[in-house]
Structure 1
Amino acid sequence: MKIQTLAVILSCLLISVHGQQSDDFPVPASFQSEGIPRIKNDDVKHLFFEPSAIKSNLIWDVDRTARKLLVTDEKNAIYSVDSPLSAPRLALDGRVPSTLRVNPTSSVVAFNNDKEDPDNYALFLWDGKSEARKLSRFDGKDDSVDSFVWDRDGKSIFYTLNDYEAKTTKLCQSDLTASKCFAVELKGLWNVIDNNRGNILLKYWKSSSNQHIYLYSIGSGKLTPLSESGNATKAFFLDGKPLALSEDSPECGGGRCLISVDPRSGTKEIISLKNVRGHLGDLKPSPDGKSLLIQEAFDGIDSLWIGKLKSKSIVPVVPNFLNGSYVVWNTRWLSSSEVVFTVENIGQPAFIKSFDLKTKKTTVWTKPRLPEVLTDSVKPPETIRWKSFDSKEISGYIVKPAKIEKKSPVLVFIHGGPQVLDRPTFSSLDVRFATFLGLSIIHTNIRGSRGFGNDFMDADNGAKREDAVRDISSLLDWIEKQPDLDADNVFIRGESYGGFVALATGLKESSRIRAVIAEYPLVSIRNYLQQSWIDEFAKNEYGDPKDEILMKSLMSFRH
């Protein structure tokens, strides 16, 4: 197959072509093709199939009172799974929530959704019977309910009302009939995380590597910082104690730990995380506050285990119970002795399991579905590492066809964000590329990615933006040394910020790249930063748009 034809197919695979009558594969209206030979439908029709041929489920939340799950399905709406392996039942259509939380004492559901005003979330209540009812009322032009939590008695909801125009946040409470907002000044972007007996945990987000946790007391109106340095990404109450996960702070000895503060005395206590050796994905306290579910990853592959707080440390009491190589999403406690979670891997769509801590029994709640032609068609992902221009180690993973007759063409994928960790999750595109086109796909976690420490996450900030592009150049050097990869046939694909890096790499490495696929790319950092809704987070990441020297340098390195 000619490389030009391959490049067109790579692009067109992202677009639905069902229902076309022509013998030729159609060129989408948004594409301009030059020098590309005609492609016959018969040559490529096997690459496409109806989306319903793939089935996957993700957990929205659990209904503990009825012991059932609320999940996604093909339509991304809200479905109910009433028992293990029962068919998902459409519960609420036409609503794709950003967050969904079930009342801790009933089956009533709260969710936020931007159906009425795109990008601005309103808060809704749904009793499972009548239409969803809106709880939030907005005063500003750009208000959005970006976070909310139920009170533990299920009688009210705490939520943050973020005004993106004024760049301020209000902390509010709805008793499910009316709302009131507290007299606490919150400048910037804040999220509500948890609450317990009149104390509320809030996260102040300045950037991905600069987040802080605060404790707000409704009774006193006092806002107390739990973490004043480092980066605090998560917080929760465990047996009544407020705990914040902090990284790179002096209190943690420059590493990571849990910090607890007594709301009355202000005394701090440090909880060691010495038993967590991999990338800490999540910690979730059990409903009775006696146990912690730990999600820990090594080279992007997750493990799940149960710990307890003992002698100022998290001590394992149930070892890893996740059998197989999986990526885990949306863990929940179904009860204080049972956890439920979504798993997937590169060759298997997402499905849901639960694990009983007492019986040690694993139960499958939903099963994935995949067309037979795509089953077992790729090798397990391999972790790869390479040295960049400054000797910094960069990593990613490669997906290869099950059979490689000769050297394989390579598609390099660059994620957006950039504060994202690309992990070996299921991708029908990857499987199709490998199965039908013989491509090897490399997923990269270049500098700026999450999961490798704050220094790595900040290593592309401001004037260091070009260093991320150099990471891809170094990857091209690595590809040239691999005996089963065809360094003469390399394609670059990126989404959003990854599209920016892909385009910049294409200009910098035009002699070593066959084609670039940039999906909804960031094209101009200056123009992006001049948008009215841009906050301090973006300026910390990309730089001040008023810095002419910096803005010109970001333009020049792409040429």
Structure 2
Amino acid sequence: MKTRLGSLLLVLIAVLAPAPMAKADIAPNENLVVDGIPSISASLADSLARYTEFRTATLAGWHPSRREMLILTRFGDTNQAHSVKMPGGDRSQRTFYPDRIQGASYPPRPTGEFFVFAKDTGGNEFSQLYRYDLADGTVTLLTDGKSRNTGATWSQSGRQIAYTSTRRNGKDTDIYLVDPLRPLSDRKLAELTGGGWGVIDWSPDDQKLLVAEYVSINESYLWLLDAATGQKTLITPKGRAEKIAYGRAQFAANGRGIYLTSDRDSEFQRLQYLDLATAKPQVLSGGIPWDIESFELSPDGRLLAFVANEDGIAKLHLLDTATGRERPVPKLPVGLIGTLEWRPGSRELGMTLTAARSPADVFSWNVATGKVDRWTTSETGGLNTATLAEPALVRWKSFDGRSIPGFLYRPPTRFSGKRPLIINIHGGPEAQFRPGFLGRNNYFLDELGAAMIFPNVRGSSGYGKTFLQLDNGFKREDSVKDIGALLDWIATQPDLDPARVMVTGGSYGGYMTLATTTHYNDRIRCALDVVGISNFVTFLEKTESYRRDLRRAEYGDERDPKMREFLLAISPANNAAKITKPLFVVQGQNDPRVPLNESEQMVATVKRGGSPVWYLMAKDEGHGFAKKKNADFQFYATVTFVQNYLLD
């Protein structure tokens, strides 16, 4: 009887006990506005978790007197400044803000009692400069707290910073000087016209500034500016029929010349030495038929480390400035090399390395001993990075016979049959997809079995200045035709499914996404536009004033009647009636580049046509999502969108 009664009680308990609660759906945080996006199950977030927990680390600057450095990495929601005191050492967080730190550096000569960092608010890109005192963590504002302040460059003595600011009228970037230890010393050195000015370097005696005037990706100039009076002197030619673009520039150790990169008399950016007395350039990298994308002169001026962009892959070189000969360099992972910086008073070169199977991490190379040290090892969320897909460089012929390059990532071989494909188009347009770490995108390859291709359509950098100019002005839609040619190429590939194609991109890549959707609506399944341009005229009229003329140089001047008519005709918002496939639009409310209106008008127009539209807007973001919690929700929604509309 006891046994039967006990069994009955167990049954009753089981029946009456509450059922296990299903996991709640993921609610967007208080800063996210969602429209049309269905509920997202918490179980989806669990399955994606490993792909959201990777970190990156980038070199910010060396300590002036000790072998330690500042890096930027994320422990919480955004990248902050951290100290690292030895290779593989602990990352000691210094700044704690809801918004990301955009740069940090010690002064080059004093004892390193403070550093200066830059930060904006909510992604608005109106950066301010601050001093951080290591003794007690005190933070002091150095700029006006309102305008856009960029390009902080230390004097050789470390007593002053030169930077540009829009504080005079919100449009022009004037040059200011400040002693970080005396914030009230801040003064305007020179009033300049235009939004493309930037300080590059100080002369060895701190008497002059090297300043760049950027007009467009194809046209720029270098000037010397007197650090006392602000008087400027042009040092590169102006008025030539063929425009010249200058990239990096730095004074030689003796101050009598300048090392620079330039496409003068060349398709590519070449490393050169410019004698200031004769104004004659000497080419130092003539044997490399690719852009030299960065360089850094050693503290004693005897060695010049530089990086060549060879078909998207970064290659490190080391030049002896006395002999003009190259020295051997270590074998580094195939990928990208960034933020070159020599440790003061040493032969040690710091750098940031990124590869398909490794997120960005900080390394150093002692050129005297040949030793390479790894300073950071960023976490990858438990992913086995050794199995991540590596890209294949592919090419296809476009409408005019021109060869267009791209990087194709294929899913693991366990996925059989023709694979769905995501076309991901870079922004810029004067940019280039480079094969670094894909981060969250690895989920689409490894878990969903989708292939991904990253095209470098005409107008991309890295392939010569002729290729760079092929989409300018009235040739804008020729780059869209390159995507049409890519769709033709996909149909010829035995492992890709032309019936399951999604297109996505951010910024200018967002425009390309929308334009592809209007031109090739019947050849794609769905599209994801992130902070994209939907109407060139409204974009040019409303983008922040300091960058308006710079964008007109690329896209055309909407104030010209013929150009305005053309821009309106090709704008996706004016062709949205052609869109019948599902569209997902992502936008930051504080975006100074592609204003909120661009996404809002596109969403409203497509909605009126009756096509499915998802919309995600973040109130505390700008040109893309920088905060992890926002980026995670965007990722969850994107995976849901892909599952609903791309995959069978």
Q: Which TM class, normalised by the smaller chain length?
A: 0.7 to 0.9
Please list, as runs of the form range in 1=range in 2, the aligned pairs for 1:282-431 lying within 5 A after superposition. 282-310=294-322, 314-317=324-327, 319-335=328-344, 336-403=346-413, 404-431=415-442
Aligned equivalents of 1:152 and 1:134: distance in 2? 22
Aligned equivalents of 1:116 and 1:53: distance in 2? 22
Does structure 2 conserve the Cα–Cα contact (< 8 Å) formed by 1:305 and 1:321?
A: no
Alignment correspondent of 1:10: none
Which of the residues 278, 285, 299 maps onto 1:273?
Answer: 285
Deviation at 1:195, TM superposition (A): 0.3
Report the 3-state secondary structure (helix = DSSP H, G, I; strand = E; otherwise coil) of the residue aligned with 1:182. strand
* CA shift digits 1:34-76 (9 cap, x unpaired): xx9x98765x455411677323211111114121121122230
* CA shift digits 1:267-307 (9 cap, x unpaired): 43423321434331211111122211111232222221211
Say if 2:157 is the partner of 1:153. yes
Report the 3-state secondary structure (helix = DSSP H, G, I; strand = E; otherwise coil) of the residue aligned with 1:59. strand
Structure with greater strand share of residues: 1
Aligned equivalents of 1:450 and 1:131: distance in 2? 42
Alignment correspondent of 2:172: 168
Counterpart of 1:488 in structure 2: which amino acid?
Answer: A
Counterpart of 2:129 in structure 1: which amino acid?
Answer: L
Counterpart of 2:73 in structure 1: which amino acid?
Answer: D
Deviation at 1:453, TM superposition (A): 2.0
Report the 3-state secondary structure (helix = DSSP H, G, I; strand = E; otherwise coil) of the residue aligned with 1:472. helix
* CA shift digits 1:399-437 (9 cap, x unpaired): 112224221110000111111111111122221000111
Unaligned runs of at least 5 residues, structure 2: 1-20, 238-242, 576-648
Aligned equivalents of 1:304 and 1:65: distance in 2? 26
Alignment correspondent of 1:91: 94
Which of the residues 121, 124, 128 maps onto 2:130?
Answer: 124
Aligned equivalents of 2:505 and 2:268: distance in 1? 34
Aligned equivalents of 1:286 and 1:224: distance in 2? 26
* CA shift digits 1:250-279 (9 cap, x unpaired): 4x69973525142xx454342332143433
Tell me how large the CA RMSD over aligned residues is: 2.8
Does structure 1 conserve the Cα–Cα contact (< 8 Å) formed by 2:88 and 2:375?
A: yes
Aligned equivalents of 2:290 and 2:102: distance in 1? 28
Q: Residues 551 and 47 from structure 1, CA distance in 2 versus in 1: closer, same or farther, beyond 3 angstroms? A: farther
Report the 3-state secondary structure (helix = DSSP H, G, I; strand = E; otherwise coil) of the residue aligned with 2:302. coil
Deviation at 1:180, TM superposition (A): 2.4
Alignment correspondent of 1:79: 82
Does structure 1 conserve the Cα–Cα contact (< 8 Å) formed by 2:50 and 2:381?
A: no
Q: Which moved more, 1:266-275 or 1:516-525?
A: 266-275
Unaligned runs of at least 5 residues, structure 1: 1-19
Deviation at 1:137, TM superposition (A): 3.5
Aligned equivalents of 1:164 and 1:411: distance in 2? 45
Aligned equivalents of 1:111 and 1:131: distance in 2? 13
Report the 3-state secondary structure (helix = DSSP H, G, I; strand = E; otherwise coil) of the residue aligned with 1:30. strand
Report the 3-state secondary structure (helix = DSSP H, G, I; strand = E; otherwise coil) of the residue aligned with 1:125. strand
Alignment correspondent of 2:148: 144
Counterpart of 1:320 in structure 2: which amino acid?
Answer: V
Deviation at 1:515, TM superposition (A): 0.6
Q: TM-score by structure 2 length?
A: 0.75
State percent identity of aligned pairs: 25
Q: Which moved more, 1:159-168 or 1:321-330?
A: 159-168
Does structure 2 conserve the Cα–Cα contact (< 8 Å) formed by 1:227 and 1:244?
A: no
Deviation at 1:472, TM superposition (A): 0.5
Alignment correspondent of 1:12: none
Deviation at 1:556, TM superposition (A): 3.1
Aligned equivalents of 2:156 and 2:40: distance in 1? 60
Structure with greater helix share of residues: 2
Aligned equivalents of 1:254 and 1:445: distance in 2? 16
Deviation at 1:166, TM superposition (A): 5.3
Aligned length: 527
Alignment correspondent of 2:558: 545
Q: Residues 543 and 288 from structure 1, CA distance in 2 versus in 1: closer, same or farther, beyond 3 angstroms? A: same
Q: Residues 343 and 267 from structure 1, CA distance in 2 versus in 1: closer, same or farther, beyond 3 angstroms? A: closer
Does structure 2 conserve the Cα–Cα contact (< 8 Å) formed by 1:235 and 1:242?
A: no
Counterpart of 2:336 in structure 1: which amino acid?
Answer: V
Please list, as runs of the form range in 1=range in 2, the aligned pairs for 1:437-516 lying within 5 A after superposition. 437-516=448-527
Deviation at 1:451, TM superposition (A): 1.4
Deviation at 1:395, TM superposition (A): 0.9
Does structure 2 conserve the Cα–Cα contact (< 8 Å) formed by 1:208 and 1:537?
A: no
Aligned equivalents of 1:373 and 1:90: distance in 2? 25
Aligned equivalents of 1:256 and 1:358: distance in 2? 26
Does structure 2 conserve the Cα–Cα contact (< 8 Å) formed by 1:100 and 1:111?
A: yes
Counterpart of 2:352 in structure 1: which amino acid?
Answer: T
Q: Which moved more, 1:328-337 or 1:372-381?
A: 372-381
Counterpart of 2:143 in structure 1: which amino acid?
Answer: S
Does structure 2 conserve the Cα–Cα contact (< 8 Å) formed by 1:490 and 1:512?
A: yes
Alignment correspondent of 2:209: 200
Q: Residues 183 and 330 from structure 1, CA distance in 2 versus in 1: closer, same or farther, beyond 3 angstroms? A: closer
Q: TM-score by structure 1 length?
A: 0.87
Say if 2:263 is the partner of 1:248. yes
Which of the residues 510, 520, 530 maps onto 1:519?
Answer: 530
Q: Residues 552 and 109 from structure 1, CA distance in 2 versus in 1: closer, same or farther, beyond 3 angstroms? A: same
Aligned equivalents of 1:428 and 1:254: distance in 2? 30
